[in-house]
Structure 1
Amino acid sequence: MTQSLTDPPSGLTLPVWVAAAARAATQVLCGQTFENPQSLQIPGRDQALGVPVQSAAPLQEGEQALAISHCDPGPGLDLTRDLEIWVQARWRQSQTGCLETDWLEIVPGEGIGRKGREGDLCASDFARRLLEANLRDLVSPGQCLQLEVVFPRGRELAQRTSNAAFGVVDGLALIGTQAEVQSSASPDQLRASLDALQLIAGASDFCGSLTLVIGENGLDLAHQLGLADQQPLLKTGNWIGPLLVASAEAGVSNLLLLGYHGKLVKLAGGIFHTHHHLADGRLEVLAAIALQQGLGVDLIKELLGCASMESALQQLEKRDCAEADRVWQAIAQAVEVRSEAYLKRYGAWPMRVGAALFDRQRQLRWTGMTGHSLLAGCGLGIHLQGGEAGFDPSLR
């Protein structure tokens, strides 16, 4: 049963709104009257979802079609709110005919994130499966459908994300692993993480070790490293402080925090809810620890003037790679010290907290001393290029 336009769905991820526009454009290309709302099939669900589309029309005497939708991510702070989405559909010519595996081609248009300047569309597996599930019935055997997706404001909005830190350029990535938005800053997201934690800790084979991964990139790296084979993984968003306490209460004895350096650096400054709308201070934390590590005042002023954490890291590495590693290892150590201090505010638990930070290439680069020990215990120890990190506990 689809939802009516008088009660349009909200809180849907970007791939859903793209899929609705894509199906509307393809319907028009096929000579049909496009449906509004679009009845979308969601992988893994029996019930279709009604998603409104702004408009759809044929172009070039019916050889192409264009549809437009507007993203509604629901309540909360989300930069994709009211994002206009254009999807242009056309039949792609092929002398040999399209095979079953290549009947759909998705072209990244203006404002769509790519994997590098000449790279492919940056889209999640869910986004691709969603498009395939909702377009296959409109494409006859032997036909090849080409979709060009455009976010007119995508390039501008991408400047306010960390996309570039992970090699995504030119616009917004078409990511999302489910239909509904799960805000990493919402209480519902925290509740879901706490429920997942209870399931993990309550399992009969739970041995007391847990890796708390920050975001999708952390989860992907944890699987690549083989951590999932060694101990349970729990993906979290921005509610790191409450999850630290809940983990200790649940009986976790060894907790590894695995995350992007631009996110975990906030913990080194005592910020345990890491959503950027609530608190930042990352460059200030970097500057304070750089000063403690003996960097000169002139360089620290340059770091404070950088536009982002990534540019600050590049500035440090350009000057002296070994020195940059030493600073970041000190930050990883500070994450551990501050996390243990945070726990002590709420109780006395024997849980050890380790930190492991990765860079924009999703390479594991820096750990605190406990993090290094926990990884080594999993057979995944890394070499600390700058030696043991030094952190002055007085910064607590």
Structure 2
Amino acid sequence: MLERYIVKDGKKMRYGYTTGSCAAAAAKAAAMMALEGKKIEKVSIDTPKGWTLDLKIEEPSLGNRTAVCAVKKDGGDDPDNTDGILIEASCEILEVPGIEIKGGKGVGMVTKPGLQVPPGQPAINPIPRKMIYKEVLEVLPEGKGAVITISVPQGEEIAKKTFNPRLGIVGGISILGTSGIVEPMSEEAFKDSLALEISVAAEAGKERLILVPGNYGRDIAVDHYGLHKDMIIKTSNFVGFMLEKCVEHGIKQVLMIGHLGKFVKLAGGIFHTHSKVADGRIEILAANLALLGTKQQVIEELFQCVTTEAAMEIIDREGYNAVYDLLCNKAEQKAEQHVFKQLEIGVIMFSMDKKVIGLGNNAKRLVEEFKDE
């Protein structure tokens, strides 16, 4: 267990280490055991972050100039599907120089372009590969080489709970990590995993995408509009970031489908939609209702609402449903301004019961065009 901590939002949270660090440590330990013919209990490796890790070796076994062992993944206080699983490495010593790194059972195989690893290769990312190579090279005598095979016994099952199937990584998880260290609750890591889907879509030749914050938006795209699932990518709260990534990867048109509670913020120019970053939902609703001539007493009542769903009851009662299309149009304008008009963007808003309540002018046209995709 890594005893290093960071304070976030007033909470003391523990760092962990990546699957890449585990693979490098297991590979180094397996090489040492294969060379020395004896089991070891711990191994030390360096990480790109500059921290040295002293890691415990699990399930060591020896053969003739071969060895197998594992290191347990420690995600720290970061929510992680791979926390506690074993990352295994086998080593076969060769009598010629060189290190070959292979993927074994439970390590995914890349099948689509657009990732850091080319199709046909095991999903062991470049920095973990460098870490494995460096650590094994340190213990190999001159003139010797090694074949290192990384495996993850639980990898196939865990991969079903990750983005891998959508990214075209089949048969297991990816061996990841740029710093070797897991920073708890890392927003950047989550954003990078979301952006990978845009990269893969662009490499597949797509120029149109549907962005949704979550499952409800996906369901409306498929069930209500009959749009293709393979066009849909989730944004979570990172709407602005994902729009920027669409521009970066050459996407031309984007249709966004989201709940009023999230997308009303876009109409106010808020593109990170988590409430801890910015809210303004009721304020934006109230301002636009005032533009439509809503009475002051209705606006005052609106400010007593905690949720946009509660606000909708007042809006529906007063007959001001036109505000939803107005908000969608403003959200389209603000979103296009956010990316300096390098994308054509349509916005659709829905209620919690999955009823479409508003469409922007762009969205009305894009929905029909997307149906032909």
Equivalent AA in structure 2 for residue 265 of structure 1: V
Equivalent AA in structure 2 for residue 26 of structure 1: A
Aligned partners of 1:180 and 1:126: how far apart in 2? Answer: 12
Find the partner of 2:280 among 321, 327, 344: 344
Equivalent AA in structure 1 for residue 348 of structure 2: F
2:110 paired with 1:115: yes
Find the partner of 1:389 among 329, 333, 346: 346
TM-score, structure 2 normalization: 0.56
Q: Quote how far apart the aligned CAs of 1:168 are.
A: 1.4
Aligned partners of 2:232 and 2:195: how far apart in 1? Answer: 21
Structure 1 contact 333–369 (Cα < 8 Å) conserved: no
Aligned partners of 1:176 and 1:92: how far apart in 2? Answer: 28
Residue-pair matches, total: 256
The structure carrying a bigger strand percent of its residues is: 2
Other-structure match for 2:191: 214
Aligned partners of 1:105 and 1:138: how far apart in 2? Answer: 15
Other-structure match for 1:127: 128
Aligned partners of 2:45 and 2:84: how far apart in 1? Answer: 20
Other-structure match for 1:140: 141
> CA 1:140–1:371 in 2, change beyond 3 Å: closer, same or farther?
farther
Q: Which runs of 4+ in 1 moved over 6 A?
A: 219-222, 332-335
Structure 1 contact 79–157 (Cα < 8 Å) conserved: yes
Find the partner of 1:285 among 209, 217, 231: 217
Other-structure match for 1:81: 83
Aligned partners of 1:392 and 1:220: how far apart in 2? Answer: 23
Per-residue CA distance 1:243-270 (angstroms, 9 max, x = gap): xxxxxxxxxxxxxxxxxx79x512xxxx
Q: Quote how far apart the aligned CAs of 1:146 are.
A: 0.7
Structure 2 contact 124–176 (Cα < 8 Å) conserved: yes
Work out the percentage of aligned pairs sharing the same amino acid: 17
Query: Counterparts in 2 of 1:1-396, with a 5 A limit?
Result: 11-31=16-36, 33-45=38-50, 48-59=52-63, 62-92=64-94, 97-98=96-97, 103-116=98-111, 119-183=120-184, 186=185, 189=186, 214-216=191-193, 218=195, 265-266=212-213, 282=215, 284-288=216-220, 295=225, 310=230, 329-331=255-257, 337-340=264-267, 343-345=279-281, 368-376=332-340, 381-382=342-343, 384=344, 389=346, 391=348, 394=357
Structure 1 contact 58–64 (Cα < 8 Å) conserved: yes
Q: Residue 41 of structure 2: SS of its match in structure 1? A: coil
Structure 2 alignment gaps of length 5 or more: 4-13, 113-118, 203-208, 234-250, 274-278, 285-330, 351-356, 360-373
Structure 1 alignment gaps of length 5 or more: 4-8, 194-211, 226-260, 267-280, 304-308, 314-324, 349-366
Equivalent AA in structure 2 for residue 48 of structure 1: T
CA RMSD of aligned residues (A): 4.3
Aligned partners of 1:217 and 1:129: how far apart in 2? Answer: 24
Q: Quote how far apart the aligned CAs of 1:15 are.
A: 1.2
Structure 1 contact 369–389 (Cα < 8 Å) conserved: no
> CA 1:44–1:72 in 2, change beyond 3 Å: closer, same or farther?
closer
Q: Quote how far apart the aligned CAs of 1:91 are.
A: 2.6
Q: Quote how far apart the aligned CAs of 1:310 are.
A: 4.5
> CA 1:32–1:326 in 2, change beyond 3 Å: closer, same or farther?
closer
Q: Residue 212 of structure 2: SS of its match in structure 1? A: helix
Structure 2 contact 166–197 (Cα < 8 Å) conserved: no
Q: Quote how far apart the aligned CAs of 1:40 are.
A: 1.2
Structure ranking higher on relative contact order (CA contacts 8 Å, 6+ apart): 2
Q: Quote how far apart the aligned CAs of 1:375 are.
A: 3.4
Equivalent AA in structure 2 for residue 286 of structure 1: R
Q: Residue 146 of structure 1: SS of its match in structure 2? A: strand
Aligned partners of 1:128 and 1:63: how far apart in 2? Answer: 22
Structure 1 contact 213–219 (Cα < 8 Å) conserved: no
Aligned partners of 1:286 and 1:71: how far apart in 2? Answer: 33
> CA 1:392–1:41 in 2, change beyond 3 Å: closer, same or farther?
closer
Aligned partners of 1:56 and 1:374: how far apart in 2? Answer: 54
Aligned partners of 1:330 and 1:169: how far apart in 2? Answer: 28
Other-structure match for 1:317: none
Q: Residue 141 of structure 1: SS of its match in structure 2? A: coil
